[in-house]
Amino acid sequence: MPQINTIDLVRSADQNRRGIGAFNVVHLETAEAIAQAAETTGLPVIMQLSHNCINFHGNLTPLGQAMIDIAQLSTANIAVHLDHCESVDLACQAIDLGFNSVMYDGSTLPYEENLAATVKVVEYAHRNGASVEAELGEIGGKKGAHTPGVRTDPTEAHEFVQATGVDTLAVAVGSEHAMTERTARLDHELITQLRESTGVPLVLHGSSGVSDEQILQGIRSGMTKINVSTHLNSFFTEAIAQYLHQNPTVVDSRKYLGAAREALSAEAARLLSVFAG
C-alpha cells in the first residue's frame, strides 16, 4: 500500500475523538511486529524511530529505509515518523529519505532557541510534504530529568504553535518516559485546556507508564497520538527470556526473536484496539 501521511492519520483520529498508536521501532523485528498488529486489527498505526535508536545503529538509513519498505508492502495504513530528534539536520535527512513526519525535540533548550530551531524544521518539512511534531514542557524521565511535576502552560503552548506552525504538539501532562509500571496519572483538565488553546492534535509521550483507563480518559480529554515504547519492549524481552528458559540449548536466534515478535505484535494489536475505542 502507498505510504500514508502521518498528519492525515492523526487528524482523522482527532476529528473522531479516537487515539492512534505510535509505536517505536528498535530493530527490524519490532517494525515487522508493528505492521503485523496493524494488519491484524485493520487499524492504522504510526511506526517511529527515535534519535537514540539511530545512534545505537549508527545510521538512519538502513533501519529507516526498512521501515518505509515495510509500510509500503503492508496492507495496513502505516505512517513512518522520526521521534525525539534533537538535530535539525537529522530531521531534514529523515524527510529526504521518505519519512512523512518528524518530531523535533528542542524541549530542553531555552524557549527562544527551541522556537527558532523548530521553525527551521517546519519550513523544510512543509516544503517537502511532511509534518512536524514539537515538544513544549520537558516530559519527565528523559536524559535523567525525572520531573513528574512539570506541566506545559496553555498560553505558552498557544503562542508556540502560532509562532512555529507545527502540526502536532507533545505536551507534559503527568506522564514520564521509560516507566515500567503503569502508575502515572494524567492531568485531564490541563489536556482539555491545551487542546483548546493550541488548536492542534496533542501527543502523549511516556504512555508506557499510563494505564489503559487513564489513556482512554486522556483521549476523551483531547489527546490523539499515543506514543508507546518501553511497554512494548518489555513484552519483547520477556518473551525472549521465557523462550530461552524453556529451550536452553537453542542457538538459532530466529527462534526466540520470532517468539518475541509475536508477543510484541499481540500487545501492539491490543493497544491499537484500546486507543481506537
- CATH of residue 82: 3.20.20.70
- Give the per-residue pLDDT at 183: 53
On whether residue 151 sits in a domain, the answer given is yes
- Give the per-residue pLDDT at 146: 31
- Give the per-residue pLDDT at 241: 98
Grid cell in block for residue 40: 491484524
Cα–Cα distance, 239 to 163 (Å, whole number): 46
Q: Report DSSP letters for the chain, one per residue.
A: -PPPPHHHHHHHHHHTT--EEEEE--SHHHHHHHHHHHHHHT--EEEEEEHHHHHHHT-SHHHHHHHHHHHHHSSS-EEEEEEEE--HHHHHHHHHHT-SEEEE--TTS-HHHHHHHHHHHHHHHHHTT-EEEEEESPPBTBTTB--TT----HHHHHHHHHHH--SEEEE-SS-BTT-SS--B---HHHHHHHHHHH-S-EEE--GGGB-HHHHHHHHHHTEEEEEESHHHHHHHHHHHHHHHHH-TT---HHHHHHHHHHHHHHHHHHHHHHHT-
On whether residue 268 sits in a domain, the answer given is no
Cα–Cα distance, 243 to 97 (Å, whole number): 36
- Give the per-residue pLDDT at 151: 80
Q: Which residue has the cell 525525539?
A: 84
On whether residue 141 sits in a domain, the answer given is yes
- Give the per-residue pLDDT at 182: 59
On whether residue 242 sits in a domain, the answer given is no
On whether residue 240 sits in a domain, the answer given is no
Q: Is residue 49 a contact partner of residue 25, using CB atoms and an 8 Å limit?
A: yes
Cα–Cα distance, 146 to 160 (Å, whole number): 24
Single-letter code of the amino acid located at 33:
A
Instruction: Give the chain's domain count.
Output: 1
Q: Is residue 200 a contact partner of residue 161, using CB atoms and an 8 Å limit?
A: yes
- Give the per-residue pLDDT at 139: 46
Domain, as residue range, for 206: 6-231
Helix 61-73 vs helix 28-41: angle between axes, to the nearest 10 degrees? 20
pLDDT tens-digit map of 73-90: 999 999 999 999 999 999
On whether residue 58 sits in a domain, the answer given is yes
| pTM for the structure as a whole | 0.92
Cα–Cα distance, 31 to 33 (Å, whole number): 5
Cα–Cα distance, 161 to 27 (Å, whole number): 33
On whether residue 265 sits in a domain, the answer given is no
On whether residue 247 sits in a domain, the answer given is no
Q: Which residues are catalytic, by number?
A: 83
User: Which residue positions in the chain have pLDDT lower than 50?
Assistant: 139-146
